[in-house]
């Protein structure tokens, strides 16, 4: 349970971010700050959080803009009186911007944008949140959204995979920096039924490529299905809760058994 904690979730207009914000409210969070560049989706999340009994407000933020990230942290603290939990969930994939997905064809500016959202953005959020989290008396923590794509190679995600791998290592380093005051952990989902996954498959340029993408997403799961955002949200809330008080600098897999073997269900 989250015992009246003040939480901030980036990338919370849909998918895992939205599911986590709702689950935080269900688990007793006092307030949840909702942040996304998608303002319409973020406002919908605010209403869903309020329906579960927690205070909530939307703060639009472009994670590529350092000033906006800093302002997001300050606005959250000013609105709710502090900050106890930061969930760095904002993230994008190459297919959000282009269909040229291989290392040979991916435009350099797309690689740079993904880096700024997926890796530098979370670093900035942690940088500016850290002083406020250190002052928290309610078990402060940071939970970062990694990916199995940051652990093993997948086709057509060289920028996404590299930035998620960087975020996993950044989690460990920040855990050292902020110990013992603030706990910092990450999780690595495999394929989860989110709009990002749907868009990734839609970017396939042929039926063969689409089949290969879908196969790589699900065929290696020992539990042979996509994960559900609500399942990931429960892990995030556990890591943010006092039940995880002796856990920091750790990366948790939530992948349907994807990384347990080298096989395929096909």
pLDDT per residue as tens, the chain (266 positions): 999 999 999 999 999 999 999 999 999 999 999 999 999 999 999 999 999 999 999 999 999 999 999 999 999 999 999 999 999 999 999 989 999 999 999 999 999 999 999 999 999 999 999 999 999 999 999 999 999 999 999 888 999 999 999 999 999 999 999 999 999 999 999 999 988 777 666 766 788 877 777 777 788 999 999 999 999 999 999 999 999 999 999 999 999 999 999 888 87
Q: Which of 154, 160, 187, 238 is catalytic?
A: 160
Q: Is 53 left (phi over 0), alpha (psi -120 to 50) or beta?
A: left
Per DSSP (E only), the strands in the chain are 6-10, 31-36, 55-60, 85-88, 141-145, 183-189, 251-254
Strands across the sheet with 183-189, in order? 55-60, 31-36, 6-10, 85-88, 141-145, 183-189, 251-254
Burial class of residue 33 (count of CB atoms within 10 Å of its CB; 0-12, 13-18, 19+): buried
CATH of 6-193+228-254, one of 3.50.50.60, 3.40.50.720, 1.20.1250.20, 3.20.10.10: 3.40.50.720
Report how far residue 103's alpha carbon sits from residue 165's, in angstroms, rounded to the nearest whole number: 17
Report how far residue 134's alpha carbon sits from residue 94's, in angstroms, rounded to the nearest whole number: 35
Dihedral over alpha carbons 67, 108, 197, 203 (to 10 degrees): 140
Three-state DSSP state, 247 = coil
Report how far residue 150's alpha carbon sits from residue 128's, in angstroms, rounded to the nearest whole number: 24
160 is catalytic: yes
């Amino acid at each position: 349970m989250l015992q009246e904690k003040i939480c901030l979730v980036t990338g919370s207009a849909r998918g895992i971010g939205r599911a986590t914000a709702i689950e935080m409210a269900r688990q007793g969070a006092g307030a949840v700050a909702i942040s996304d560049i998608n303002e319409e989706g973020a406002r919908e999340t605010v209403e869903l959080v309020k329906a579960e009994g927690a205070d909530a407000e939307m703060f639009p933020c472009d994670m590529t803009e350092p000033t906006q990230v800093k302002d997001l942290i300050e606005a959250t603290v000013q609105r709710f009186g502090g900050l106890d939990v930061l969930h760095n969930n904002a993230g994008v994939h190459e297919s959000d911007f282009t269909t040229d997905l291989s290392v040979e064809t991916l435009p350099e500016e797309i690689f740079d944008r993904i880096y700024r959202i997926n890796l530098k953005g979370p670093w900035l959020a942690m940088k500016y949140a850290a002083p406020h989290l250190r002052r928290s008396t309610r078990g402060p923590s940071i939970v970062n959204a990694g990916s199995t794509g940051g652990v093993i190679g997948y086709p057509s995600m060289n920028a996404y995979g590299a930035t998620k791998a960087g975020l996993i290592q950044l989690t460990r380093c920040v855990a050292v920096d902020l110990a013992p005051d603030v706990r910092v952990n990450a999780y690595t989902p495999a394929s989860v039924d989110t709009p990002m996954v749907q868009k990734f498959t839609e970017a396939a340029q042929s039926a063969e490529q689409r089949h290969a993408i879908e196969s790589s997403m699900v065929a290696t799961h020992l539990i042979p299905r996509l994960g559900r955002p609500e399942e990931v949200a429960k892990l995030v809330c556990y890591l943010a809760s006092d039940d995880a008080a002796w856990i920091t600098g750790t990366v948790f897999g939530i992948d349907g058994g994807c990384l347990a073997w080298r096989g395929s269900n096909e």
